[in-house]
Amino acid sequence: MPNRRTFLAAAAALPLSAAVPRGAAAVTCPTVVAGSVTGQFGTVGGWASAFVDACGDRQGVVETPPFNSQWQYPLLLSDVAGVGGRYQANQVVKGEHRLLLVLVAGRLDSGALPFPAADAGHQAGVIWDDGAGNSYKWQVGFSTFSATNCNQTDKAATGGTVTITAVSATSVEGSYSGLTFKNLSGSLSGEFVAPRAAVAGMMTPEDFTGCPARPGSMACLNP
């Protein structure tokens, strides 16, 4: 029987388009709307925090025991507007900066795996349990894309907390505080609203219809 750390690591390894639908009632794909990032401050690696948009998209798989229940809800904060549409189309803009907040969830049986309750926040990279058999973790990273060819540089968080104030199948709201990253000076803090920007292939029971298929190859756009 794998422990919770191994289990959540497996859930977090899901690609940004992975899912296995399983017979849920279909509902219309949510319309992509702009998110927001407010109250932000700080610098990281010499870049001053300037996020202007946010989006998210819950994804998951259902497998045979003991990995019966796992999902992740990645949230993208960007300093270029329109990140929801670019997420769907697998596009980035030259010179773009992104903060990636991934809520990873798992349990070791086939029971329902709900959203976590709003709370006082949790440290990046640290697993917490809700006392009902559900385990969660925030995986956090900071990405920069070259201004010439969109080459991507990723830095994992080494500290800081993320807090949920509201979460549902179509939106996540919360804040982040004192996020630090490997080999980068400074820290980032702020508040976000990240509406859902879904793609085809959602986890059950979120079997949306009409969502676009996300291309496998990333496209690099001019500013």
pLDDT at 120: 85
Domain of residue 68 covers: 4-221
Between CA 210 and CA 193 the distance in angstroms is 24
pLDDT at 208: 75
Give, for 87, the enclosing helix (H) or strand (E): helix 83-89
pLDDT at 12: 54
CB 188 within 8 A of CB 159: no
Mean pLDDT, consecutive 10-residue stretches, the chain (223 aa), reads 50 46 60 96 97 92 55 95 97 98 88 84 95 94 97 97 92 97 97 94 64 92 96
pTM for the model stands at 0.87
- Position of tokens 């990253």? 181
Name residue 130's amino acid.
D
Between CA 5 and CA 30 the distance in angstroms is 33
pLDDT at 71: 86
pLDDT at 100: 98
| Spatial CA neighbour of 199 closest among 22, 21, 52 | 21
pLDDT at 108: 79
Name residue 223's amino acid.
P
CB 183 within 8 A of CB 155: yes
Number of structural domains (the chain) is 1
Give, for 7, the enclosing helix (H) or strand (E): helix 4-12
DSSP, collapsed to helix, strand or coil, labels residue 84 as: helix
Query: Could you please report the per-residue DSSP string of 15-32?
Result: -TT-----SPPEEEPPPP
